[in-house]
Structure formats: C-alpha cells, structure tokens
A and B are shown apart, each in its own frame.
Chain A
C-alpha cells in the first residue's frame, strides 16, 4: 500500500514555455500542411488540386514568416537573438532547437522562390504592361527570364517540380523538428516519445487542411473574378481532411497505448494527467474536433459547404488545443515537488494573450500583403478556364 505523504513546505517549480509556444507549433505545422497540399499538384501532378496549389503555397509562406515571431516573443532576452547564430554550435547534433535555425531560414526562402517560378508568366505580363520603377520591380521578380513560350514554361514546370520535391522533406522537417524539441525531453513524461515528430506532423496536416477550408472559400468568394466558391474542391479537401484525421488518430492511439496502457513508471502521472483533463480531451479534442469532422469528410455531408466551413474552423481550433494540452499540459506534470501545476496566461506584455493575438494580426496583414503582390487570383481563374468550370 502506498504511504501518504503530507507536504508541509516545498517550492513551486518554475516553468518557462507559455502560450506563444503552442501557437508557434500550430503555425509551423499548418505551414507544412499547406505546402504539402500545394505539392500534390506541383510535384505529384494531381490535377484536382491545381486550382488551389498556388494559393496554398502562398499561405505556407505567410504562416512560416509569422511563426518565428512567437519564438522571439517567448525569449526573455530577445535582444540576444544573435547569440543563437554565433555561439553554441557544438550542441548542434543534440539540440533540436538549433536545427530550427537552418530550417526556419531555408524553408521560407525555398517557398518564396517556388512562388516566383510559379507566377513568373504573370510577372512577365505585368512587366510588359508597366513602366519605370514598376517595370524594374517585376523584372526582378521574374529573376531575369523574360520570355513566355513553350520552352520557358517547360523550364518553369521543371523548376517548380524540383523546388517542390526538395520542399516536401524540408516542410516535414520544419514541423518535425518541433516534435523533436518536445520528444527529446526525457524528463517530461508526456513529451518523451519517439512518436512526437510524426504525431505533430499528422495533427499539423489536420490543422493546415482546416485552415485552407476556411481561407480558400473566403478568398474565392470575395477576391476572385468568378466570385464563387468551388464546391468540388472544398468537398475534396474535406475528404482529404478525413484521411488526415484517420492518420492522426492512429498515431495518437499508438502514443497513448504505449505510454499509458503498456507504459512503465511515468504512466501513473499520465493517468492522473488525463483524469484531470478527461472531459476536455475526450469530448472536445477527440469527439468534437476529430471524430465528427472525420465523419463529415467521409460522408455526403462534405458537400454541405457551410458545414464544411465550420468543420475547418473546428479542426483548426482542435489542433491548437492539442498543441496547448501537449506543451502546457506537459509542463504541469510534477517532477520534483508534488501537485500538478496550472497555467493562466497573462493578458498583456511578453508571452501574453495579447502577444498571440498580435501574431494573428501580423498573419492576417501578411496574407493581405502577399495576396496583393502575387497574382494568385489570375492563376486560379486560368485553371478554372482550362477546366471549363466557369460556366458550371
């Protein structure tokens, strides 16, 4: 029988990672997912994703530019960012955070160039129709290739394929490494599992698809020539979402069964943890945000556009909650002093609710900026014209 221990005095342990970190993980994850969905068309040549491939690529870019701001905000000495680049390279093999620097730099650059290649014919047209400084600006965006002909467009296609093919592993790494950050912490019983990187990737595919289910209809409805939502692609995405949820659920089942049912000592802490958060985890995270969307995606309900739109919002929030429950929840598990912790983010200042909201505002601002610069709408309409969907 266990002996009761009454703690008379102890120290409440210090914890560092607040609301910024789950938000960062959500952003990088959704970026990776958006990139992979765009690659379905660019690399795997899947025709049905062609109309949204360009837009998804731009979203991947924007999400990944906004994401690292969360990290800088979470630092207590953000002015020392240069120390990260200048020192401590001996820890490169063992510090997943260190890998992040290369990935967070390489990945957005790659997406940017892929977008330039993809939209090059449109930039060339714009260059010919403008003069002065504008002409020079578009000339730079075309990267000096000013011709539009069969040969050049073949070259574009080839370049797009190569960049997309290199980008897929990079996208997997840019989010997989965040899973590594947590998985590498063997001191934390919730985080410490080799499944963490793929678990993060699987749930990222869910949140990224959810985000596209929200953004694509809004942009198609209000910012394109045809002014209408392409219901078939939305239903297609909803079905894809359902498959991503299946993968996510399988990996979660593997994770929880090995950690709890077949686990050793830390399992007792995890049982206690999931008992505390039972309602939230089961009813909200699993049933509302995964199972119901999966049913919608696999049945005829996916043709019901308003329902699918709401599903997009729900799964995106659900994955955010999963990130929160993992990052914050993992830190609430006791290690040296008894008692689970609880976290209440403050309202203002660094690492606060306002800071995260500001990051979302930055994301929206960047979406506006990037969609204003890149002719995604022209490109999208062209696909619909080719498919003859315009008069559908």
Chain B
C-alpha cells in the first residue's frame, strides 16, 4: 500500500471515530431537540389549539389555498382541506363542509412509533416533523387515524400541518386562520383563559373527530354532524369517480370507483 493511500484510510477512519463520538451523533431524541433549538422546543408557556366553527364555514377553500402558498406544499398534496358533502337526498338535503387538518393530538399516535425521532410534539403542543432527520419509512402516516400526514413529493419526507409554527413563533396566526373569510377557524392558547379559544371552549359544546382513537385531538369542532364520520354511507369523491372516465393517468394509490 502506498503512503498516500494509507494516509487516506487513516484520515477516513479518524473522521468516522470523531463523528461517532461527537455529542450530536448519538442521541435519544434528535439533534435539534438536543441543541434546544427554539423551533424544536416551542413555547413552554403556551398550549396551542384550534376550534373550527362549522356554522361559519362556507367551503370556499381559502384555507386550503393559503396553506399551500404559505407552506409551499407540492401541487396535488394538501396539509389542510375542506371536504364538501351533501347530506341526505332531495328534497331533504343540505350542504356540509368539514375542514380537516392535523389534530395536533395531545397523545398522538404518530409520534411514539417514529423510529428516527424525526416527529415529535413541541412543548406548546404542536406536532412537527424534522425534515432533515425523517428517513421516509411512513410508519407515522399509517399510524395517524386522520390521514393527515403525507409523503411530500419534493422533499421525499413526511409532511404535515404545523399550525404554521414558523408564523406562530413570530406571534402571527396560522395562514388558514388569517385567511378564513367566515372566521370559522379560531386559533389560540388554551393556557390563556382570556383567549377567544378558551372562551369558546367554555361556552359551546364541542366535539373532536374519532374520539374513540384516544389520541386527544386538539382541534375542536362546533356543530359537527356525526353522520359525516360514517364513511361507509358516503359516495366516493366525484373527482375520483371521474378520474377513469376522463382518462386521467392512474395513480399508484387511488380511490376505487364506488357503485353507490
């Protein structure tokens, strides 16, 4: 072996040893949380939560658009979306809207299963994903009862709603709340008893999606019609029904065209 080669191997070995013993290399959590980066820790004095007042929602999808723009979500993927339904049959029929987003559960199903520590709950209750640590195994996506995680087509890691943590940390409201025309989305701190959200929670009957999953969701709904949760009574979305008819390219995962 010539000298330069030997030096090269020695150098490489030394680097490996250094990397293996540096403080950040092996961690119980993840490097960002160990470094106490404020983006990872959040604000200990707050407990963020959202109320969606369905009486105010007009189904305009302004929240959907604002979120896509604010968070550069790839085309065709959504962190939040308003499902639009018709309940009942003519003539006894009415429109119903169900804005959905990550519930930032107090006892999330997605966090404990993460094998890399990439997803975690901040001290202010916001559940986030470290896009530099996530290796894209998708376990959290399968664990989420609400289907609110997705594999970002561009970053190739799991993506989800963050309650616009980057805005919240600056004292701003999440983009969807800021833009909601009917004031249907109310965001705030549950630890502040004078906040609008605390008052609404105190004065109105609220409910959460899939309470039986035991994840303690932190997105509460006013005026939620329990029937919309029974998916077996619902037709598949018209978009999906038409996909084959209008000759769109088949997706790897697609909704079966229902016969209902």
Report which A residues bind B (CB closer than 8 A): 2-18, 71, 74-78, 80-81, 83-84, 86-91, 94-98, 101, 181, 184-188, 265, 268-269, 272, 276, 331-332, 334-346
- CB-defined contacts of B137 to chain A, threshold 8 Å: 16, 71, 74-75, 97
1/0 per residue, CB under 8 A from A, across B203-236: the answer is: 0000000001110000000000001101111111
- CB-defined contacts of A90 to chain B, threshold 8 Å: 28-29, 117
Q: Are B133 and A7 in contact (CB under 8 A)?
A: no
Assembled-state Cα–Cα distance A97/B140 (Å): 11
B225 to A: closest C-beta gap in Å? 9
Q: Are A95 and B235 in contact (CB under 8 A)?
A: no
Assembled-state Cα–Cα distance A83/B25 (Å): 9
- Which residue of B145, B250, B256 is within 8 Å of A186 (Cβ)? B145
A18 to B: closest C-beta gap in Å? 7
Q: Are A187 and B115 in contact (CB under 8 A)?
A: no
- Which residue of B134, B145, B150, B239 is within 8 Å of A9 (Cβ)? B239
Q: Are A12 and B253 in contact (CB under 8 A)?
A: yes
- Which residue of B100, B113, B254 is within 8 Å of A184 (Cβ)? B113
Q: Are B234 and A6 in contact (CB under 8 A)?
A: yes
Assuming the contacts A14-B147, A95-B114, asked whether A9 and B237 have C-beta atoms less than 8 A apart, the reply is: yes
Q: Is B27 an interface residue (CB 8 A)?
A: yes
| Count of residues in B whose CB is under 8 Å from the partner chain | 73
Assuming the contacts A336-B148, A338-B231, asked whether A16 and B138 have C-beta atoms less than 8 A apart, the reply is: yes
Q: Is B167 an interface residue (CB 8 A)?
A: no
- CB-defined contacts of A2 to chain B, threshold 8 Å: 227, 230, 233
- Which residue of B87, B156, B239, B250 is within 8 Å of A10 (Cβ)? B239
- CB-defined contacts of B30 to chain A, threshold 8 Å: 87-88
| A-contacting 9-mer, from B2-10, B43-51, B77-85, B172-180 | B77-85
- CB-defined contacts of A6 to chain B, threshold 8 Å: 85-86, 234-235
Q: A87-B118, A91-B115, A345-B252 are in contact. List 19 more A-B contacts (CB 8 A).
A: A5-B86, A10-B236, A15-B142, A17-B142, A18-B252, A76-B138, A76-B156, A77-B135, A83-B118, A84-B115, A87-B31, A101-B115, A185-B143, A336-B100, A338-B231, A339-B255, A342-B254, A342-B256, A343-B252
Determine the main DSSP class of B at the interface with A. loop
A-B contact pairs, 22 of them (CB 8 A): A5-B228, A5-B234, A7-B234, A9-B237, A10-B240, A11-B83, A12-B237, A12-B251, A15-B253, A16-B137, A16-B151, A17-B138, A83-B116, A86-B25, A89-B27, A185-B109, A336-B148, A337-B147, A338-B232, A338-B235, A341-B253, A346-B252
Q: Is B188 an interface residue (CB 8 A)?
A: no
Q: Are A16 and B254 in contact (CB under 8 A)?
A: no
Report which B residues bind A (CB closer than 8 A): 25-31, 77-78, 81-89, 96, 100, 109, 111-118, 133-139, 141-151, 156-157, 212-214, 227-228, 230-240, 250-256, 258
A177 to B: closest C-beta gap in Å? 12
Which residue of A is nearest B93, CB measured? Answer: A6
- CB-defined contacts of B258 to chain A, threshold 8 Å: 338-340
Assembled-state Cα–Cα distance A83/B165 (Å): 24
B141 to A: closest C-beta gap in Å? 5
Assembled-state Cα–Cα distance A103/B136 (Å): 21
Assembled-state Cα–Cα distance A11/B134 (Å): 24
Assuming the contacts A6-B86, A83-B135, A338-B231, asked whether A12 and B240 have C-beta atoms less than 8 A apart, the reply is: yes
Q: Are B232 and A87 in contact (CB under 8 A)?
A: no
Q: Are B143 and A98 in contact (CB under 8 A)?
A: no
Assuming the contacts A75-B137, A76-B151, A88-B116, asked whether A16 and B237 have C-beta atoms less than 8 A apart, the reply is: no
- Which residue of A81, A268, A337 is within 8 Å of B237 (Cβ)? A337
B27 to A: closest C-beta gap in Å? 6
Q: Are B237 and A8 in contact (CB under 8 A)?
A: yes
Assembled-state Cα–Cα distance A247/B30 (Å): 43
Q: Are A9 and B254 in contact (CB under 8 A)?
A: no
Q: Are A13 and B147 in contact (CB under 8 A)?
A: yes
- CB-defined contacts of A5 to chain B, threshold 8 Å: 85-87, 96, 227-228, 230, 233-235
B80 to A: closest C-beta gap in Å? 10
A360 to B: closest C-beta gap in Å? 21
Assembled-state Cα–Cα distance A22/B16 (Å): 35
Q: Are B100 and A14 in contact (CB under 8 A)?
A: no
